[in-house]
Amino acid sequence: MYYVKNLISEFTDSNLTEIYPEWNAITTYCLETGTPTSASIARRGTWYYRSATNANINFDPLEYDGTKWVRYAPANSHAMLDFKAQTLSYLSGGDMFVEFDLPWMANSIGMGYYECDTVLIELFNGSDEAVWTYETESTYSENIFDWYTWTFATKEQELGRSLAVKFPAFIGTKCRITWQKSAYQSRTACGFLSCGIAEEMGKTKDTVKFKPTSYAVRKVDDFGNLTITKRSVSKTIDFQTTTDKALFMRKQRAINRDLDDIMMFVIDDVENSSLENIVTLGIMQEPTPILDEFDLSVISWSIFEAI
């Protein structure tokens, strides 16, 4: 298992489009009680803000957050860089791409809750030459063997999947990631993206427990009729890793340093490209390093997903 602190703060280029326009000091914004429009929402920096008052003019959302404005959602151009796993950056009708400068010493890239046919990762040197590439395999027709299964089989699509790959540090200076759209999808999307330095925490033991937590609202009326309002589903993942006893104190210091940070966790680190890693964005909950008398030490983990 390893975890990665995201070191990307901005994209140097992308084809992501914004849902709401940039805040304008001479535009009068209003308070909308129904579905919001650009009459009450504006982008400021990496966030969309919603007007909390009528006649809202020349009040900067950054200065009046909580009074004249309230944060509504991360901007589409930055949603995959926030600290939530399921807030999507998306592009309708085509391939989505982003470019960013590779952080110093970075050796790992991961993403989750993405929607596309395939993912292409390219690293470039200072001369803009591709020096390393990685592309996932399309799963659209992986269960199609003849005309009969083509007609009746379920068409597989890349929805809500995850990916984590490692690459040699210092191999490039710029990274481009392209989410390639399937002909049967209306958009491409990604929930979170992380690039940074992998902090190795040992080999994941075989037993990994998933505890889903639903935030749906369930109501039963006086006649026993049940209504359910769907909301996000998070999960807590419990597992153990084993590491060299000689590294015990170093791992303990790393845990203490990163205990309250939201990071990407790659729990099983599968290297076979046909398999999907257990990748999530979350926070450690009371990790417990256990020093024993043998050559290996055990760390018990509980990771809570940041939805």
CA distance to 129, 135, 158, 166, 206, per residue, from 169 (Å): 17, 19, 29, 9, 29
Residue listed under structure tokens 């710029």:
174
Comparing C-alpha atoms, which of 227, 232, 128 is closest to residue 174? 128
Res. 155: pLDDT tops 80: no
Which of 121-125, 137-141, 187-191 is predicted with the least confidence, judged by mean pLDDT? 137-141
pLDDT digits (tens, 9 = 90+) for 197-228: 999 999 998 789 999 989 999 999 999 999 99
The answer to whether residues 136 and 114 touch, using CB atoms and an 8 Å cutoff, is no
pLDDT digits (tens, 9 = 90+) for 229-241: 988 888 999 999 9
The answer to whether residues 304 and 83 touch, using CB atoms and an 8 Å cutoff, is no
Q: Does domain 203-305 have CATH number 3.40.50?
A: no
Q: For the chain, what is the mean pLDDT? A: 90
Euclidean distance between CA atoms 105 and 158, whole angstroms? 30
Share of residues in the chain with pLDDT > 90 (%): 80
pLDDT digits (tens, 9 = 90+) for 239-280: 999 999 999 999 999 999 999 999 999 998 766 555 678 899
φ, ψ for residue 47 (rounded to 5)?
-130, 155
For residue 279 the two structure tokens come to 């990748």
Beta bridge partners of 189: 90, 115
* Interacting residues of 88 by C-beta distance below 8 A, sequence separation 6+: 79, 80, 113, 115, 189, 190, 191
pLDDT digits (tens, 9 = 90+) for 76-89: 999 999 999 999 99
Q: How many residues does the chain have?
A: 307
Euclidean distance between CA atoms 134 and 159, whole angstroms? 19
Residue listed under structure tokens 């024993």:
292
CA distance to 219, 230, 233, per residue, from 225 (Å): 8, 16, 23
CATH number for the domain formed by residue range(s) 2-14+82-198: 2.60.120
The answer to whether residues 262 and 282 touch, using CB atoms and an 8 Å cutoff, is yes
pTM over 0.85: yes
Q: Show me where the domains of the chain are located.
A: 2-14+82-198, 18-75, 203-305
DSSP sequence for the chain = -EEE-------SEE----SSPBP-TTPPB---SSS--TTTEEEETTEEEEE-SSSB-S--TTTSBTTTEEEEEE-TTTGGGSS-SS--EEEESS-EEEEEEPPTT--EEEEEEEEESEEEEEEE-TTS-EEEEEEPPP-TTTT--SHHHHHHS----EEEEEEEEE--TTS-SEEEEEEEPPTT-SEEEESEEEEE-EEE--EEPS--EEEEEE--EEEE-TT--EEEE---EEEEEEEEEEEEGGGHHHHHHHHHHHTT--EEEESS----TTS---EEEEEE-S-EEE--SSSEEEEEEEEEE--
